[in-house]
């Protein structure tokens, strides 16, 4: 049942239904047409056969009457002649109107010698003695019917003759009636018989006396009498179509013998003519059928197409409805201008995230963001510019957050950032700072650059609220606080975080200006060769002297610089300064020493690193071989492939590379072997406990051995005691660095140290190489 239903359904589809209908209609039409034609054909055939029989009947009557009249005339003349035995029989009979019409018949009498003694009309010659029939009549007494030679009948006459007897029954001559052969077929009706029907008389001897088709009359053909006449049983049946032997035309023909005469009549209807009408009709019917076919096909095609189009448009309609519905739904949940989720959607999301945070025991942050003085910009530059700004802000905000975070627009210039699944409020701080930084960058509106700032209020789950309303309310309060605090900042609803972040914020803003205010200094710490004790090189260390904060430890400001990205320009400054210094010292005649500069992860991953490095080397004229970049072990192994690529780049500049804090990362020998390193610096943690228990010394040993196995210069960091130095020397460390030997010194002091070394001969050759640590 189901399958049937489906089948029916399939049929109803336009591409099947209409062709199917077309096929059915076409089939029906053609079957009907062919049927009708066949029917008509059969009918016509039947009609023709019947007609030929009918015509035969009529013709028979007509011919018989004529023959009887001829017979009567012959008998009359014979009777008169035999009775009266005088001349002038004919003229007398004629006067009495007893002879058939002159127009067609002529009567003659010939005597026993064959001489024509009387005639109603002049015929042939005077003697008929040599005629066939004359001779026959001499011997017989039946009526004889003459023949004509083969060919067109024309005026040819058929001669009917009878024997005249004398008083004693002896041959006394012949009486003859001559008839135009054409007379016998003068009743040919072309309307019934057509141009190729046949009307004719033939003798029992098979010779055609006359036959007529259309206007042409022929005589003399020899036919097979027996085959022309129908068999006795078939006498009443419909005659079949046969090919007339005298002219090859296919006809329905019948023949019938005339009683009392050695003659038969022949009637035939030409097949082609009789069927011509049917053929014409058939042609018409077929034409109509063809036209109908074309019509049906076109109609079905049109209907099919229309139906298909209807289906298509319905489909399109429903699709567009769906599309419309989707759009409406989208608009219900998204802001039209920026494409960000709108208030309703945010509300839903927040509720969802709160329950998730509850379930997984995480925190989340809601940060309300308001653009400061947006109204002014909108009023000054116009709404179009204002909109542009909002769109750009939306984009930038999205760039500050993770994929799992949500940025939404609440309306006007109010945005909200949802940070789900955070571990700590501090993460929110980082994001808030990023946002402030990113908003702080210039916007290009209507061809000009503008800057805006934002005020951010942050509330945390669960501290500042456990439901949607509370969190949003508190974030809002925090935001107003931020505005009150002078805008372009962020505030937490809870106090504690505020304090920490305030400090951080202060540091950060100071750091931003430190470079331009020249608050940085480079100090140099000497690295000493372990055997000679001579200064083998130096490390450049960054110091920050803030007017208010004082000297800020690198440990304090480097992380902030790293986070804000300020480390990049600062790092560039460091490199440049170090190179300049080195170059300057060489110019003064001091020996060329290597300078090591630290590099952070942020600097290392900066895209312009190699570019900047190259241009610094060029600008300062620094010999790259004297520059050494220090990278911590953990940094190097973070992304081995990228690291390798960058290191190779640095190496190609000719700069040397050192691994810092060696032993604190988890690198394997195999990994380290891949890097193009020059120096390894053992972390101070290994040095600190050297002279203590033997495990630590073994550890340090191992590290040194590792370094040496990599064929690198091994430097020990943080050497502070004589004992440590001693140990290291015995363990084949190459260089030492640390307070024991030299503290980091400002440039001019370091220069003095170098000069002192060069000048003092007592330094040369001293194996201990111990110097006054005070210097």
Partner 1 sequence: MKTTALSAMIFAVLAANVHAEDIVVIVNPAAKPLSKEQIVDIYLGRSADLTPIDQTVGSSIYVQFYKKATGRDAAQMKAIWSRILFTGRGQPPKQLPDSAAVKKSVAANPNAVGYIEKSAVDATVKVALPLD
Chain residues binding partner 1 by CB under 8 A are 62, 65-66, 101-104, 119, 122, 126, 180, 182-184, 186-187
Question: Which positions ≥6 away from 478 have C-beta within 8 Å?
Answer: 368, 456, 457, 458, 459, 491, 492, 493
Instruction: Kindly tell me which of 64 and 751 has the beta carbon lying closer to partner 1.
Output: 64
Q: CB-based burial of residue 522 (10 Å sphere; 0-12 exposed, 13-18 middle, 19+ buried)? A: buried
Rounded least distance, CB 184 to partner 1, Å: 7
Q: How far is the CB of 165 from partner 1 (least distance, A)?
A: 25
In the complex, minimum distance from the CB of residue 215 to partner 1, in angstroms, rounded to a whole number = 10
* Rounded alpha-carbon distances, angstroms, from residue 622 to 81, 537, 572, 610, 650: 171, 15, 14, 15, 14
Between 100 and 738, whose beta carbon lies closer to partner 1?
100
Residue closer to partner 1 by CB (options 61, 351) is 61
What value, to the nearest 5°, has the Cα angle with vertex 547 and ends 545 and 551? 30
Question: To the nearest whole angstrom, how small is the minimum distance from the Cβ of residue 161 to partner 1?
Answer: 20
* Contact criterion met (CB below 8 Å) for 735 and 729: no
Q: H helices within 627-691, ranges in order?
A: 633-636, 640-652, 669-674, 684-688
Shortest Å distance, C-beta 191 to partner 1 = 13
- The span from the CA of 681 to the CA of 660, in Å, is 5
ω into 462 cis (within 30 of 0):
yes
Other C-beta atoms within 10 Å of 430: how many?
17
The minimum distance between CB 103 and partner 1, in angstroms, equals 4
Nearer to partner 1, 197 or 769 (CB): 197
Closest to 173 (Cα-Cα) out of 67, 79, 78, 86: 78
Distance from C-alpha of 32 to C-alpha of 288, rounded to nearest angstrom = 12
Joined tokens for residue 658:
């050192």
What stretches of 490-639 show up as alpha helix (H) in DSSP? 495-514, 554-564, 567-587, 601-604, 609-620, 633-636
The span from the CA of 388 to the CA of 203, in Å, is 121
Q: What angle do CA 300, 303, 304 make, to 5 degrees?
A: 80
| 761: three-class secondary structure by DSSP | helix
Beta bridge partners of 539: 525, 596
Which pair of tokens denotes residue 458? Answer: 């942050």
Shortest CB 45 distance to partner 1, Å: 28
Nearer to partner 1, 189 or 726 (CB): 189
Give the DSSP letter of residue 409.
E
In terms of CB distance, is 116 or 599 closer to partner 1?
116
Measured from the CB atom, is 186 or 500 closer to partner 1? Answer: 186
Nearer to partner 1, 58 or 404 (CB): 58
Q: Is 61 exposed, middle or buried (0-12, 13-18, 19+ CB in 10 A)?
A: exposed
**C-beta of 193 vs 475, nearer to partner 1:** 193
| Shortest Å distance, C-beta 124 to partner 1 | 11
- Cβ 102 to partner 1 shortest distance, Å: 6
**Please, which residue, 101 or 411, has the CB nearer to partner 1?**
101
- Give 476's contacts (C-beta < 8 A, 6+ positions apart): 368, 457
Q: Which is nearer to partner 1, 62 or 165 (CB)?
A: 62
Report the DSSP pairing between strands 157-165 and 735-737. unpaired
Pick 107 or 275: Cβ nearer partner 1:
107
The tokens for 664 are: 């604190």
User: Cα Rg for the chain, rounded, in angstroms?
Assistant: 68
Closest of 427, 370, 366, 439 to residue 398, by C-alpha? 439
Nearest distance, CB of residue 94 and partner 1, angstroms: 11
For the CB of residue 190, give the shortest distance to partner 1 in the complex, in Å. Answer: 12
Provide the angle, in degrees to the nearest 10, between the axes of the packed helices 425-440 and 383-400: 140
Q: C-beta of 52: minimal distance to partner 1 in Å?
A: 18
**Rounded to the nearest whole angstrom, what is the least distance from the CB of residue 35 to partner 1 in the complex?**
41
Round to whole Å and give the CA distance between 716 and 698. Answer: 15
Nearer to partner 1, 91 or 500 (CB): 91
Of 102 and 319, CB closest to partner 1: 102
> Least distance (Å) from partner 1 to the CB of residue 88?
13
């Amino acid at each position: 049942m189901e399958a049937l239903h489906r089948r029916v359904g399939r049929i109803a589809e336009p591409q099947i239904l209409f062709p199917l209908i077309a096929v059915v209609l076409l089939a029906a039409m053609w079957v009907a047409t062919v049927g009708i034609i066949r029917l008509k054909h059969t009918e016509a055939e039947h009609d023709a056969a019947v007609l030929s029989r009918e015509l035969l009947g009529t013709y028979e009557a007509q011919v018989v009457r004529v023959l009887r009249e001829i017979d009567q005339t012959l008998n009359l003349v014979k009777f008169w002649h035999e009775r009266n035995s005088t001349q002038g029989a004919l003229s007398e009979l004629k006067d009495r109107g007893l002879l058939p019409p002159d127009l067609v018949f002529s009567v003659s009498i010939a005597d026993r010698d064959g001489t024509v003694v009387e005639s109603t009309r002049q015929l042939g010659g005077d003697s008929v003695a040599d005629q066939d029939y004359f001779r026959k009549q001499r011997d017989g007494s039946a009526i004889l019917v003459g023949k004509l030679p083969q060919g067109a009948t024309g005026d040819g006459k058929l001669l009917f003759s009878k024997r005249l007897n004398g008083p004693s029954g002896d041959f006394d001559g012949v009486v003859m009636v001559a008839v135009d052969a054409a007379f016998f077929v003068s009743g040919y009706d072309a309307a019934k018989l057509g141009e190729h029907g046949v009307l004719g008389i033939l003798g029992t001897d098979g010779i055609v006396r006359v036959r007529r088709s259309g206007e042409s009359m022929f005589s003399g053909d020899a036919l097979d009498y027996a085959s022309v006449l129908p068999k006795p049983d078939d006498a009443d049946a419909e005659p079949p179509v046969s090919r007339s032997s005298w002219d090859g035309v296919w006809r329905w023909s019948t023949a019938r013998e005339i009683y009392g005469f050695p003659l038969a009549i022949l009637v035939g209807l030409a097949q082609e003519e009789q069927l011509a009408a049917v053929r014409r009709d058939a042609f018409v019917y077929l034409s109509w059928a063809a036209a109908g076919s074309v019509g049906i096909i076109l109609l079905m095609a049109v209907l099919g197409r229309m139906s298909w189009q209807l289906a298509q448009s319905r489909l399109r309609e429903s699709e567009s409805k769906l599309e419309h519905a989707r759009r409406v739904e989208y608009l219900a949940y998204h802001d039209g201008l920026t494409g960000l989720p709108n208030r309703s959607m945010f509300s839903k999301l927040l509720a969802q995230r709160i329950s998730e945070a509850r379930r997984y025991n995480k925190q989340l942050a809601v940060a309300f963001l308001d653009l400061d003085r947006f109204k002014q910009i909108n009023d000054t530059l116009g709404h179009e510019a204002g909109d542009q700004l909002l769109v750009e802000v939306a984009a930038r905000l999205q760039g500050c957050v993770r994929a799992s975070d949500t940025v939404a627009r609440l309306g006007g210039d109010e945005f909200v950032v949802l940070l789900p699944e955070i571990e700590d409020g501090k993460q929110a701080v980082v994001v808030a700072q990023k946002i402030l930084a990113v908003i702080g960058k210039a916007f290009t509106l209507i061809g000009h650059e503008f800057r805006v700032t934002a005020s951010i209020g942050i509330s945390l789950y669960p501290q500042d609220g456990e439901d949607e309303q509370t969190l949003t309310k508190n974030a809002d309060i925090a935001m107003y606080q931020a505005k009150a605090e002078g805008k372009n900042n962020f505030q937490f609803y809870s106090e504690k975080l505020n304090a920490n972040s305030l400090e951080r914020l202060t540091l950060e803003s100071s750091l931003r200006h430190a470079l331009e205010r020249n608050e940085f200094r480079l100090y140099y710490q000497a690295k000493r060769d372990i055997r000679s004790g001579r200064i083998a090189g130096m490390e450049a260390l960054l110091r920050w002297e803030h007017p208010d904060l004082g000297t800020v430890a690198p440990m304090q400001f480097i992380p902030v610089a790293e986070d804000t990205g300020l480390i990049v320009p600062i790092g560039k400054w460091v490199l440049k300064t170090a190179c300049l210094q080195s170059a300057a010292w060489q110019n003064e005649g001091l020996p060329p020493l290597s300078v090591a500069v630290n590099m952070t992860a942020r600097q290392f991953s900066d895209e312009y690193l190699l570019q900047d490095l190259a241009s610094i080397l060029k600008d300062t004229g620094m010999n790259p071989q004297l520059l050494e970049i220090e990278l911590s072990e953990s940094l190097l192994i973070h992304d081995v492939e990228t690291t390798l690529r960058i290191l190779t780049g640095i190496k190609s500049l000719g700069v040397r590379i050192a691994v810092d804090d060696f032993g604190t990362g988890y690198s394997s020998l195999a990994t380290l072997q891949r890097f193009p390193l020059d120096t390894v610096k053992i972390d101070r943690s290994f040095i600190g406990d050297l002279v203590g228990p033997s495990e630590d010394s073994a550890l340090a040993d191992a590290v040194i051995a590792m370094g040496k196995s990599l064929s690198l210069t091994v430097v020990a960091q943080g050497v502070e005691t004589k004992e440590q130095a001693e140990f290291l020397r015995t363990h084949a460390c190459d260089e030492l660095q640390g307070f024991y030997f030299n503290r980091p010194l400002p440039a001019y002091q370091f220069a003095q140290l170098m000069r002192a070394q060069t000048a003092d001969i007592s330094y040369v050759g001293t194996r201990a190489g111990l110097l006054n640590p005070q210097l």
